[in-house]
Amino acid sequence: ADRNFLSHLSSLYNPHMGVENVGAFLYSFVRFTKVKRIVEIGAGYTSLWILQALKDNDDELDRIRKLQRKGKCRLLDWPWTVPKTVEHHDDTPSSLVCIDNCLHQKETATGAAAVAKMLDLDSYMEFIRGDAFELDLEESIDLLWADFGVGSRMQEFVSKAWPSIRAGGFLLCHSTLTNRRTREWLEAARARKGQDETGMPPDEYVEVSLLEPHKQYQNSVSIFQKRKCLNGDDYSEPLYSEYA
């Protein structure tokens, strides 16, 4: 990240939120997966990392598209891009919908929109002040980032949110491993318990959780990828080569 970005971002940083490493992680995750339609529950510091990643993805694909049209996207005289993906990247606008009730005593959500405007990232952002349990999420979400104190209500939240995530999309949850209430939900998901306990059909996802071992609180991220849908719209990665 450049100095101008980090300088503006510093006004949103609060150690109580525990996202000093998660922000950069989300930036890399969005850059790598090229997700475009993102919803964030609990806005603030991480919002700017996601917004910057969306812009950098758009800029990157624009550069690649220009090279592709000139026939220059080749390695060892073999095409290395996926032409359709590159050409149609802009068909779906990149966007981040931030949802926050702004009730946390250390909240930084209200300043995120102002910082986004200063960094010329506001065109990617929509801010909704409200309760995540009361909102109807749009369909075909690529990434849902849940960073709010949900605790024992995880099943309730996920049962409403999960249908909105497209096949191949992701649900990322903050702070799932070392607090008892959320860990109980996570272990139920790992054990493939029923939807009445997890909010997700047990055969629709894969999961991996990451721990920041030096911290006691706000120290983990669980990643769920949706592999199947009830409507039969399953997801699998393509095959492009024999070895490479």
pLDDT in tens, 15-55: 777 788 999 999 999 999 999 999 999 888 999 999 999 99
Closest CA to 152 of 120, 122, 186, 123: 186
* Residues 6+ away with beta carbon under 8 Å from 33: 142, 143, 170
Looking at the DSSP assignment, which residues form a beta bridge with residue 165? Answer: 141
**105 band by pLDDT with thresholds 50, 70 and 90:** very low
Model confidence over 116-136: pLDDT tens digits? 999 999 999 999 888 878 877
Q: Any idea of the CA torsion for 214, 218, 223, 229, to the nearest 10 degrees?
A: 160
H/E segment holding residue 146: strand 141-146
Summarised one tens digit per residue, pLDDT across range 155-213 is 999 999 999 999 999 999 999 999 998 999 999 999 999 999 999 999 999 999 999 99
pTM: 0.93
pLDDT higher than threshold 60 for residue 106: no
Structure token digits, residue 86: 């590159």
Query: What tokens appear for 47 in the block?
Result: 């919002």
As a whole number of angstroms, the distance between CA 167 and CA 170 comes to 9
Rg of the chain over all Cα atoms, to the nearest angstrom: 19
